[in-house]
Every structure is written in C-alpha cells, then in structure tokens.
Amino acid sequence: MKQIPNRLKVGVPKTLFASYNLSYWQRFLTLSGMEVVFSGESTKETADRGGRLLPHEFCIPIKIFMGHILDLLDKGVDQILLPRMTDRNKTNFFCPKLIGLPEIVKFSLNLEEKRFFSPEVICNGLNPKVVRFPVTAAASLQQMKRVEKQALKYWEETLDNCRKQQITLPEAALKTSLETSRETALKISPETAGRGKLKQPEHHLCVGLLGYAYSLYDPFINKGIQRKLDKLKIRVYTWEMLEPETIETSLRGLKRPIFWNFGRMLLGAGLHFLKDPAIDGIIYVTTFGCGPDSVAAEILNLEAEKHQKPFLLINLDEHTEDGHLFTRLEAFADMLSTFKEDNAV
C-alpha cells in the first residue's frame, strides 16, 4: 500500500514579525502543504527561559521571541519559521535586532540550518514580500510563489478590515478567521484580540495608542493595557486604522526622515493623531532597551508639547507591575478629562 507522507510540521513563533503578519504566514505555510504549529501565549516563563539565552541588555520582545522558539522545540516541530528580514531600498530599515534575528537564534541555541524555514523577506510598507524561497520537500518553488500571492491578498483584506471597521489587527484577524475554513483559522485568544470579545463600554475619552504590534497586542508584555483602558472608558485608535497615505502625509512634515520600518509608521500615526481634534491624547507603549523607540517617542513627545496635547510614555520591561501601570493610566485619564473640560469652556 502506498504510504501517505507526513506533512512537514512548521512552528510559528506568535510574536515579533508574526504579530503583524500572522494571518499571512499561516496562510502561506498551510497552502504550501505544511502543518502549522503555533507557539503558546507569552508568560513569565517564556520571558525567563528566553532571557537566560541572551545578554541582559536585549529588549524584552527579543527575549520573549527566544522563549517562543524554545516552546516550539518542546512541541517537536520539524522546522521553525525564521524569516530573514532585509531592506532593499535606501529609505526604510528594520531594527538591527530584527535583521540579525536568524543569527541571534542560531548561535544562541547552536542549532543547524535545517531546523529553520527561512525565506528572505522585504516589506513594502506593511506588506511582506518573499524575495527568496527556501528549498523544501513540502512544496515546489512554483507552488510557493502561487500561494504567497494568495496569502498576501488575505493579509491585505485583514488590514483593509482594520481601516473600514476601525478595529485593531488582532480583532480583524479574529474576525476574518471566524469566517474562514477550519484549517486556516487562526487561534487568537480573546485576551490577545483585546476588545474583540468584550462588551464595549461607553467611551468618553479617545486616545491614539502607539506601539509595535508585538508589544501592543501581547497581554503579557503590556499587562493587558487595552482592558485597562476599556475599564477607564477610553476608546483607542491605532496605526492600522489609518490609511497608509494619511501616515505618509504626516511624515512629510518632519525636518529629517525617519528610517525605521515600523517606527516611522508609529510616528506618522502619532503625528496624525496630534492634529486630530477627536483624539484627546497619545499613549506610546515602548519596551526597555528599544533603540528606534528612543528616537520616535522623543520626537512625538516634543511634537505633543507643540500641539498642547497630553502625551504618556509607558516603558515596559518584564518587571513592570500591573497595579502601578493602572495607577498611571488612571492619572492620565483624569488629566485628559480635566484638559477636555478646560478646552470646552
């Protein structure tokens, strides 16, 4: 009897690059005939295990990423998705830690090349594009090229939903996955989806909430900031709810261009929110040790002063305490209310 070969089991770390394009990668791998295994949610153990492999000064998202890789190895996957993020133009660059991610992982864990599925990827804005496909027995080059187009279309639809329905990336991914087939359905927890499954309270304040997707939508890193803002009846608006042209137009006002791929998107969104009278203030969520944010957040802070709009910088690390964060958000909400009342007079 002819034996049916087992499908290649590819592990996807549910953080960093995949926080943005999870639906894209999931589609691409599944339609290429591979079995997708996701890492679990981030926890203290994930951060501790990953952190033990790296020098202390690494940012928390990279430590957590390493923890997710260990989790996937525990799950017995054949290969781990580890794209090489490269820059093909002279205007946008990824953070050096993202560019060097394959080396960081391989040398920290001493693993062979064959344990990774490493396509070379560039980003046109937020849209990933594979420019070099790895050789794999699971699919032919033609098949991967074909399904990559389908995956990109699916990802663009997800982003489109964010803009049309004014919802966050995880909310849109959850929504789209519920409408899709079981095999390609994403497994996103309500906690990760943020407000997705929550009853919406009456919001009386609006803020622009800025941060990288892997921090903003990981409840372990951000200590459930969206739920806390919901409790305070604050409605949030995020970068993915804006049209790319809106972000680009805002960036044109800068004296010097900003080069970081994801950082410029946050800055452009923030500059737009500063001019939007419907937005009462800005909250910028960053993580300890992030180089690009130290530039983008500072520019935005200075611009917020010029526009006389309240600005709160939240710098998170693995030790950030839950109660302390809520107290800061409460104080910020009080300030926004007072500011709003004063300006209404």
Binding residues (CB under 6 A) for ligand SF4: these are 59, 61-62, 95, 97-98, 212, 287, 290-293
Q: Give exposure, 73-89, as e/b (b: 16+ Cβ within 10 Å).
A: eeeebbbbbbbbbeeee
Identify which of residues 154 and 262 has a Cβ nearer to ligand SF4 in the complex: 262
Tokens of 155: 């990802």
Closest CA to 225 of 204, 209, 205: 209
- HSE at residue 342, side-chain half, CA atoms within 13 A, is 9
Identify which of residues 288 and 339 has a Cβ nearer to ligand SF4 in the complex: 288
Smallest distance from ligand SF4 to CB 281, Å:
23
Smallest distance from ligand SF4 to CB 218, Å:
11
Smallest distance from ligand SF4 to CB 17, Å:
10
Identify which of residues 234 and 316 has a Cβ nearer to ligand SF4 in the complex: 316
Identify which of residues 99 and 335 has a Cβ nearer to ligand SF4 in the complex: 99
Identify which of residues 21 and 32 has a Cβ nearer to ligand SF4 in the complex: 21
Residue type, 254: L
Smallest distance from ligand SF4 to CB 167, Å:
23
Are the beta carbons of 230 and 196 closer than 8 angstroms?
no
Q: What is the DSSP letter of 113?
A: G
Taking the C-alpha atoms of residue 273 and residue 247, their distance in angstroms, rounded to an integer, is: 10
Identify which of residues 96 and 190 has a Cβ nearer to ligand SF4 in the complex: 96
**Integer angstrom CA distances of residue 11 from 42, 72, 90, 244, 251:** 15, 6, 32, 31, 37
Smallest distance from ligand SF4 to CB 308, Å:
29
Smallest distance from ligand SF4 to CB 266, Å:
10
